[in-house]
Amino acid sequence: MTHPVVVYDTTLRDGTQAENFNLSVEDKLRITLKFDELGIDFVEGGWPGSNPKDVEYFKEIQKYELKHTRVTAFGSTRLFANPAEQDQNLNALLAANTPGITIFGKTWDIHVHDALRIGLNDNLLIIEESLRYLRPHVQHLFYDAEHFFDGFKANREYAFATLDRAIAGGADCLVLCETNGGTLPTELSAIIEAVKTHLAAKKATVQFGIHAHNDSECAVANSLIAVSLGASQVQGTANGFGERCGNANLTSIMPALALKMGYEFTAAANLHRLTEVSRFVSELANLSPNKYQPYVGQSAFAHKGGIHVSAMQRNPLTYEHLEPEKVGNVRRVLISDLSGKSNVLVKAKKFGLDLDSKDPVVSAIVKELKDLENQGFQYEGAEASFELLMRRALGTPKKYFDLHGFRVISQKAPDGVLQEEATIRLAVAGEEVHTAALGNGPVNALDKSLRKALTRFYPNLKEMELQDYKVRVLASEHGTEARVRVLIESRDHDSQWGTVGVSPDIIEASWQALVDSITYKLMKDEQNRH
């Protein structure tokens, strides 16, 4: 029989300790509101005693009426030199005026001696007195037993003594922190069972939780095991962001608890929004989403092998552990040299093309695809180019312009400044067009010149922008004679698409990808008009 679980997110505090992960106050407010919509129970907003940004966040969040989420402030036990009522950190926690407060204390005796530099009994005193001081002023009071598992291994009786004093101070929940991330699931179970036995012997009714780090790649597993053994609160971060190797990934923990283990929590009813929330957090942190992340990654339900896709068409369970829609993700069929007819037919249906498996065109497309990939083309990140390839095989694409020639000049001035100029001659709507443009690099100059030539005929190109540009050297043993593959990501006001070009000449490869990108945009606009 399962028990209810409380989901506690610490992205805004512990997650921001990750390398290259930075959030403004406005970012933190927006993420809090997003977590509230998802149904996260507690959001740890920051450490008000440590920096002005967190103080401002706690002030600003008071202006919002959250539907479900309760915000907590985080801090440490009092300094040994200060009485609790005069401790600046504890009073900053109260000034944050949050429904919940979480404080951490030292569990591992080595930290008491080397970090705090006080006696073991002195540490027990500040744990109890800090919690006792906060207790009357806050609705939810949690105690993070920092380094609990390492502390337990080093000195079991002292680790238990710290928990006892936290209970005496009035903590609602004892959160067992696997701070260094080195405990394996094979060790964790026995330690939690020992905690349960100790609490039962003390006749303590306090709940316990889990806060795991991922240094041994076990944070999610350790969290799920802890909940299965009775932990009523699970802490973690969105996408596992956190210091060093990260925290327990709530984006993986929540669907596992709800969809596989049968646990109840408010966000379980809203997991269809999980992928959206995951990518929202990455976007605000200005980090690219991890495409290989379980449940919410772009590749989590992506299928490449032709045999896999064929089986998936009959029954998705053959190669998927759950329906992607349950976590707000989508099934994707990748096109590559491993593809068979099944992949092509799935793509044709997606593109609105009526193809039959017995149609000779399907075999022709598969053959051309494999030939092109052998040359270095890659369509997994360039679906727009693949759709154009299919339409060319069917003889249906419209040609929006013809290239008569282009030239790109790169010139370095005496002052060291590089200047690129691209000149293009095109035929558009029966008219010869000759344009030139300067750019920041040869590809940018080519892009500007091409748009300059076409915008008079196709004004919608003004709303299109190049979002990303990647170059990959193929068969590098050929050195500067090697082929290059260019992948371009483009977007307009409502969609984005990828295109590809391959050539020994980087300008030619870029031109191929640019032309596909613009052709795709013009084709889609025409389809939408009809």
Beta-strand relationship, 484-491 and 140-146? unpaired
Task: Give the count of beta carbons closer than 10 Å to the beta carbon of residue 477.
Answer: 6
Burial of 317 (0-12, 13-18, 19+ CB in 10 A): exposed
Q: What is the pLDDT along the chain (530 residues), one digit of tens a residue?
A: 688 999 999 999 999 999 988 899 989 999 999 999 999 999 999 999 788 899 999 999 999 999 999 999 999 999 999 899 999 999 999 999 999 999 999 999 998 988 889 999 999 999 999 999 999 999 999 999 999 999 999 999 999 999 999 999 999 999 999 999 999 999 999 999 999 999 999 999 999 999 999 999 999 999 999 999 999 999 999 999 999 999 999 999 999 999 999 999 999 999 999 998 998 898 788 777 888 899 999 778 776 654 454 555 555 555 567 888 899 887 666 554 445 555 666 666 766 666 666 767 776 767 766 667 667 776 766 788 877 877 777 776 678 899 999 999 988 877 778 889 999 999 998 899 999 999 888 888 999 999 999 999 999 999 898 888 888 787 644 455 578 888 888 888 888 888 988 998 889 999 999 999 999 899 888 877 76
Tokens of 10: 């610490």
> Chain-centre distance of CA 210, in angstroms?
22
From residue 367, alpha-carbon distances to 1, 152, 328, 344, 356 in Å are 55, 62, 34, 11, 16
DSSP 159-213: HHHHHHHHHHHT-SEEEEEETTS---HHHHHHHHHHHHHHHHHTT---EEEEEEB
Residue 23: which of 13, 33, 10, 8 has the closest Cα? 13
d(CA 428, CA 417): 34
Residue 498: which of 389, 381, 390, 392 has the closest Cα? 381
d(CA 58, CA 125): 29
Task: Give the count of beta carbons closer than 10 Å to the beta carbon of residue 225.
Answer: 18
460 contacts 438 by C-beta, under 8 angstroms: no
Q: In this structure, what are the phi and psi dihedrals at residue 160, rounded to the nearest 5 degrees?
A: -65, -35
Residue 399: which of 528, 524, 522 has the closest Cα? 522
CA atoms within 13 A on the CB side of 361: 16
